[in-house]
Amino acid sequence: MKKGIHPEYFDCTVTCSCGNTFKTRSTKKEIKVEICSNCHPFYTGKQKLVDSGGRVERFKKRLMKSKNKEGS
């Protein structure tokens, strides 16, 4: 690596708004995040799949109509 062109690399503390902290390395000494693997719904199993406006049902209706037209 060329000398003098890379930023300084520090031991870093990452702090989440839920209170979780962990150590890593970064060009910053401290990082604050809003969400981490301890509180993210995907990782905690509290994820909710939301069908806004019945999109799945509309798709299924269109699919059935197209299948009926092909079969006729």
- Read off the pLDDT of each residue in 31-41 and give the average, rounded to a whole number: 89
CATH of domain 10-66: 4.10.80.400
Burial class (CB in 10 A: 0-12, 13-18, 19+), 3: exposed
Confidence at residue 69, expressed as pLDDT on a 0 to 100 scale: 82
User: Which residue ranges make up each domain of the chain?
Assistant: 10-66
- Read off the pLDDT of each residue in 27-45 and give the average, rounded to a whole number: 88
User: Between these two residues, 59 and 23, which has the higher pLDDT value?
Assistant: 23
Q: Is the pLDDT of residue 11 over 70?
A: yes
Confidence at residue 72, expressed as pLDDT on a 0 to 100 scale: 60
Confidence at residue 55, expressed as pLDDT on a 0 to 100 scale: 82
How are beta strands 30-33 and 21-26 bridged, if at all?
Answer: unpaired
DSSP-assigned letters across all residues of the chain: --TTSSPP-EEEEEEETTS-EEEEEESSSEEEES--TTT-HHHHT------GGGHHHHHHHHHHHHHHHHH-
Q: Is the pLDDT of residue 32 over 70?
A: yes
